[in-house]
Structure 1
């Protein structure tokens, strides 16, 4: 899949089914994400990247709770507000079979975070480098 252009002008080419454009994603409060991750406890941390720490969190969805991934911006990272808003604007509208869905974001005070669906079967990286899964084209 290839994305070109800016967040306002995105051209998509893909061998998969065409993406669908969705409504803007949910806005989470700092309190919701703090509660979901037990105050960003290191035991809930599942990784880190250029954006910052990545946490697994339980968030209420009405009467049920669901597991999500929360990427919390580290202000010492090379990425900042412009990259954050491009990701929110682009991925909140895009749903594709080969992309993890952006569920929402948090922009409260100095706190910025992105909330994604949780991949219960692991990431492609896990299958290629950790689990040793044999992947077939189908």
Structure 2
């Protein structure tokens, strides 16, 4: 089940529908300190990699400004992963670009949910997402 902090259009299915060119954003007209996009499941899964595809970009936001990380949920508690690496490096500005893929790898873990979290960017303080893919490479 897709989760977010705020969705502009209410189209959370876009997060994992297999179509990265359809996107959602978190614009709601209010400043926020953190934004998050994620997926939860009815049981735990092993995971060690997510691919975040950015969504549409706008002159006033659509990217993360700082602190992009991954959190995993166990027993309704979110914990930041260890050993995080982002490839390519996330630029933390509009250069993140529309519909670009960023691979976030981390130490093997398990949980019943995963989300990306960070401070939203732009003068309107929001992020966008085209897709969030979750993998376990072992």
- Which structure ranks higher in relative contact order (CA pairs < 8 Å, sequence separation ≥ 6)? 2
Q: Which has the higher helix share?
A: 1
Greater strand proportion: 2
Q: State the TM-score, normalized to the length of structure 1.
A: 0.28
Question: TM-score, normalising length from structure 2?
Answer: 0.28
Please say which structure displays the higher CA radius of gyration.
1
